[in-house]
Chain A
Amino acid sequence: NAGVTQTPKFQVLKTGQSMTLQCAQDMNHNSMYWYRQDPGMGLRLIYYSASEGTTDKGEVPNGYNVSRLNKREFSLRLESAAPSQTSVYFCASSEIVGGAEDGVFGPGTRLTVL
């Protein structure tokens, strides 16, 4: 039982390059999330998927796209990376029964955009 896994762990991009961050969970959770963490700002929700086949914008969706490939996998894509997207990205999953379920977080992807 690996929980939530993310790849890659580290990435350096040049401005304008594209990349996809991968996330997978093996807990059979329905809901998955992408957050970004910036110093002094906590974690902010980028996109989420309440169930397989659905995705919705969070607080800071601009510059990102997501795909819920199946129940296990939820990817985050940067089409044209910008320095403002330098951050640590966390994927999380949870099973929604009334909303009180805590998220299980992956180890993070540290992205630098030059």
Chain B
Amino acid sequence: AQSVTQLGSHVSVSEGALVLLRCNYSSSVPPYLFWYVQYPNQGLQLLLKYTSAATLVKGINGFEAEFKKSETSFHLTKPSAHMSDAAEYFCAVSSYNQGGKLIFGQGTELSVKP
């Protein structure tokens, strides 16, 4: 079975500060890992994904995430937060034998203070 835990349901940062959103996963097979962003009243948009190639994955809008197998983590970071980054972020896991089904974490709402 696979699962995802996102640490912190709400994270608040100042504009220009580092963004760090934490995600830990559990998987008995090599995982595929995803970060999605959801802006208010919209659907989900893919930020980045890890599919067993490079462990440091770069995504859109300046976000990146590092796959650490030893820590079963896939934390999302951005060096400098913008006001436009305020949204809800979801980490998700899948694998080759899951037929594309995604298991999502609970979500982390990011607030950016001016």
Contacts and interface: CB of A to CB of B under 8 A. Distances in A.
Given A43-B92, A99-B97, A106-B43, 4 more contacts: A42-B90, A99-B99, A99-B100, A105-B44
B94 A108 contact: no
Interface of A: 4, 31, 33, 35, 40-45, 48, 50, 58, 90, 92, 94, 96, 98-103, 105-108
A100 B92 CA distance: 12
Contacts of B36: 105
Contacts of B100: 31, 33, 48, 50, 94, 96, 99, 101, 103
Q: Which of B44, B92, B100 has the most CB of A within 10 A?
A: B100
Nearest to B94: A99
A33 B103 CA distance: 12
A45 B43 contact: no
Nearest to A98: B96
Interface stretch (B61-69, B78-86, B104-112): B104-112
B95 interface: yes
Nearest to B97: A99
A31 B73 CA distance: 28
A45 B42 contact: no
Contacts of A45: 101-103
Contacts of B92: 43
Nearest to A107: B43
Nearest to B105: A42
A20 to B, nearest CB: 19
A100 B94 contact: yes
B22 to A, nearest CB: 14
B9 interface: yes
B28 interface: no
B104 A40 contact: no
B74 interface: no
A50 B45 CA distance: 21
B52 to A, nearest CB: 8
A58 B12 CA distance: 33
